[in-house]
């Protein structure tokens, strides 16, 4: 347990500065103000063994009895009325970090989901910060993570590309299964915030590599490469996504609706042309790939001077529709990854956007100002074949 305490102490020291930064610079989402720092304190000072079942205790010391009494008192306040009931089509797995459910970690609940299950497997996660690295394998399909609000429930880890042997593996949460759903929960990577050009400091909060995934009212917090929208068809609704460099990247075919995209790049002097961030880096590598990011009715704000996207791969495809943009957007708007050969193959478009950052007068020559016909494939959920798989909230 000493090793666990040491890990949590390290975690606390890295988490507090980032969360404090979020509060000071971006108070609107209220993430830190609504989080109870007792969650962190309890993680650091926790002495309770994390078993799934807690009714086999023996040779208890006075300290053990204290822990048991404290646990009992905490569980008296457990919101049992919020816990969904099981049905013929849904199995429920309850997670509570204080031991008031069958599982104290999210990963333990994931492991308990039957392989290739045809039922919906709802992993209900009580309020708190769950400091663990979570992976949902391909065999665990039809899984739902349901938290109690993206400002009160979070899965947190702190790997980087260096520590995990590659950006793709640094994610705090990795999902490879199909038909994954997340609701009212945040995914965070609290590794130190890198500067532009830092090597190996990429730190992913969520990697979604399965098909037919939906995220409702979720938070994604990190800096460089926050959300790895890897591959497959994905839907994001009312989500809060924060980062600095390429903070939404990958080769997914995804529809982002009414989401807040918040840059936390360092502020730049007024009048400076220095660009220190990018919202997207889409990875479409050939014209044969049906992938791309569509942002509809979203907002882009925060700090720094950023591009809406840069061409990670030669056929990168991103569209912003009916989106409000503040003046953090660089006048040219987009970047071809400093490879002019990509100008003929990338597809970057804007349609009916507003705000100080939406002025297209000085946009890069390869950016398309879409007309009604050109924008129509990106306007609604048919872009991701939602009628085939997306269920109502």
Catalytic residue annotation: 246
Query: How far is 277 from 246, CA to CA, in rounded Å?
Result: 7
76 contacts: CB under 8 Å, gap ≥ 6? none
Give 166-209 as a DSSP string. SGGG--SEEE-SSS-EEES-EEEE-SPPPPTT-SS----SEEE-
* Complete edge-to-edge strand list for the sheet that includes strand 317-321: 90-95, 120-125, 143-146, 181-183, 213-216, 233-237, 253-257, 292-296, 317-321, 347-351, 368-369
Which residues share a beta bridge with 155?
130, 187
- Per DSSP, the three-state class of 66 is helix
Contact 345, 373 (CB under 8 A): no
Q: What is the Cα–Cα distance from 156 to 162, expressed in whole angstroms? A: 18
Phi, psi (rounded to 5 degrees) for 240: -115, 115
Map residue 85 onto helix, strand or coil: coil
Rounded to whole angstroms, how far apart are CA atoms 280 and 250? 9
């Amino acid at each position: 347990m000493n090793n666990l305490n040491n890990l949590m102490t390290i975690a606390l020291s890295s988490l507090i500065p980032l969360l404090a930064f979020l509060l000071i610079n971006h108070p609107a989402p209220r993430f830190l103000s609504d989080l109870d720092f007792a969650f962190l304190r309890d993680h650091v000072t926790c002495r309770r063994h994390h078993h799934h079942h807690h009714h086999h205790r023996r040779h208890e010391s006075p300290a053990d009895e204290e822990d048991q009494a404290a646990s009992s008192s905490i569980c008296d306040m457990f919101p049992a009325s919020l816990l969904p009931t099981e049905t013929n089509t849904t199995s429920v797995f309850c997670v509570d970090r204080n031991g008031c459910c069958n599982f104290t970690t999210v990963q333990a609940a994931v492991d308990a989901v039957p392989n290739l299950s045809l039922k919906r497997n709802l992993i209900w996660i009580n309020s708190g910060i769950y400091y663990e690295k979570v992976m949902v394998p391909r065999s665990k399909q039809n899984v739902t993570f349901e938290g109690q609000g993206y400002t009160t429930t979070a899965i947190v880890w702190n790997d980087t590309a260096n520590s995990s042997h590659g950006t793709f593996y640094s994610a705090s949460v990795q999902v490879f299964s199909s038909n994954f759903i997340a609701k009212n929960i945040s995914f965070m990577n609290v590794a130190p915030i890198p500067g532009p050009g830092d090597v190996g400091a990429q730190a992913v909060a969520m990697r979604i590599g399965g098909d037919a995934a939906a995220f409702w009212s979720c938070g994604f917090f990190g800096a460089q490469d926050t959300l790895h929208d890897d591959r497959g068809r994905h839907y994001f609704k009312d989500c809060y996504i924060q980062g600095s460099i390429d903070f939404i990247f990958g080769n997914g075919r995804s529809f982002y609706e009414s989401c807040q995209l918040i840059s936390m790049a360092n502020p730049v002097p007024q009048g400076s042309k220095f660009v220190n961030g990018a919202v997207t880096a889409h990875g479409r590598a050939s014209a044969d790939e049906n992938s791309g990011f569509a942002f509809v009715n979203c907002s882009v704000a925060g700090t720094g001077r950023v591009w809406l996207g840069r061409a990670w791969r030669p056929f990168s495809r991103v569209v912003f529709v009916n989106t409000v943009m503040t003046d953090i957007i660089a006048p040219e708007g987009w970047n071809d990854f400093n490879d002019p050969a990509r100008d003929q193959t990338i597809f970057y478009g804007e349609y009916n956007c507003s705000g100080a950052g939406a002025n297209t007068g000085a946009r890069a020559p390869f950016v398309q100002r879409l007309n009604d016909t050109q924008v129509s494939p990106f306007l609604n959920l048919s872009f991701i074949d939602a009628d085939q798989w997306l269920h109502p909230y």
